[in-house]
Amino acid sequence: MLKGEKNNARHKKILLGVDLILDQHRQWHIIEVNDHPVGLKLSDQLFNAGRDPWSERSSSGIEEIASELMSHSNNEDIILLLPDCYRIRGGVSNVSVKATDLNFLEDYRIGRNLDDFNALLKELKQNKAKAYISDVTAVEQKRDEVWVKKRPVAAMYRRSAQFPLSVTSCYCLNDLRLRKICRDKSHVGLLLKSVGLEKNCIPYYSLKTEDKVARLLLESGKSVIIKPKRGSGSKGVQKVSSIPVWEQACQDLTNSIHDEEVVFQEWIEPSSVNIEGRNFYYDIRVNILGNTIISALARCSAAPIDNPLWRDTPLVWLTTTGKLIPVVTNGINEDGLNAVFLSKPELEKLQEIVSAINIAISVECAGTSYEKAIETIGSFGAQEGFKEKMHYINLLKNKAHV
């Protein structure tokens, strides 16, 4: 462990996006843990749109992240390192940035990603921090130090999957080792079970070796969800409710990709929320920094569950296809607010779950070899991209926004 790394180790926090559902009995189930949560600014806006369930919370998620970076910067430079696909003229910007190519703007992740970076830069600037948005071409590693444009960097908000290539003394949110850990859904499931979250985890099974499990579930009248072992953003997710459909899906997947890279799990029916007289399934994304929930939102299906025309389509069962609504509490929707309402016991259980997740992922990260983790992440071309392919996205500086 390097000197700077050792000094920071005790106080390091990790930023995670945790996706969960409440089932029909109002019990929590963990869907996924994401080390690159997108939509932080949007989560802040929705988290504050209703009655705030955490009354003692006085700052937004973006403010919490900015504060964490500043606490490790010692008044030195802070960089916000973009994902590898982005390019800024000159490599660095001390003002907000925007994408202008209409071919990319249809991907909502791009807009939300840039909104996060711009909001974080604005918050840092308002607190007099020396902060910049940077693409990966402008940063370099000199032994254990990170430099940008011939200036040393003390703290970094990292979204690149290619930098830094070894441990540095620069404080990094998040450590690149988390990319390896969180991409493997099966491994994360085992980690969460190790910290007492067995009842809250939906077990993952291998499509290649555990066909019998799927058949038993389907024969009992249950459904299964098939998904890539290392996927994200609901890409490649299928719901299967019969053995003939299961067999066809297995054949299709075996012919198209390595079947050891595909997993499945039992489909747990989520709770529903009433929006304008119709019921929609939903899940909840909570963003945590350390063991603290800093923002949250609910994601709804696009079609109501009682619509027979859409019943078996992803528009009904996939909870990332529809509206985003606030998460609030106090139990009763007195104002007719389109929101998910959580009781005090549900909130307390949620806090318990995310605290355990933070411990499990943090401990695993500390015990993971940085160099071996880098080897598993892959090259630029191997990353998940726009329309199934990685592209370079040019950004313009927008002085009007900062």
Q: What is the pLDDT of residues 187-228, one digit of tens each?
A: 999 999 999 999 999 988 888 888 899 999 999 999 999 987
Q: Is residue 283 part of a domain?
A: no
pTM for the full predicted model: 0.89
For residue 301, give every residue at least 6 positions away whose Cβ sits within 8 Å of its Cβ, in sequence order, or none: 280, 281, 282, 315, 316, 317, 318, 319, 321, 322
Answer for the pair 214, 264: CB distance below 8 angstroms, yes or no. Answer: yes
Q: Give dist(CA 288, CA 18) in Å, integer.
A: 8
Domain assignment of residue 19, yes or no: no
Q: Say whether 376 sits in a helix, a strand or coil.
A: helix
Write a three-state SS string for 175-206.
CCHHHHHHHCHHHHHHHHHHCCCHHHECCCEE
Q: Which CATH number is 261's domain given?
A: 3.30.1490
- Number of structural domains (the chain) is 1
**Is 219 inside a domain boundary?**
yes
47 within some domain: no
Strand 171-173 to 151-158 pairing: parallel
The whole-number pLDDT of residue 6 equals: 38
Average pLDDT, the chain: 86
Q: How far apart are CA 393 and CA 83, in angstroms?
A: 10
- Runs of H (alpha helix) within 302-369: 314-317, 344-366
Inter-helix orientation angle 211-219/243-256, to 10°: 150
Residues 310-358: tens digit of each pLDDT:
877 889 999 988 999 998 866 555 556 788 988 889 999 999 999 999 9
Answer yes or no: is pLDDT of 400 > 80: no
User: For residues 44 and 120, is the Cβ–Cβ distance under 8 A?
Assistant: no
Find the DSSP H helices in 22-89: 40-47, 61-71
Q: Give pLDDT tens digits for 152-168.
A: 999 999 999 889 989 99
Answer yes or no: is 191 within a domain.
no
Judge whether 112 lies within some domain.
no
Q: Which domain holds residue 230?
A: 204-266
Asked whether residue 12 is domain-assigned, the answer is: no
Tokens of 64: 């919490």
In a domain, 5, yes or no: no
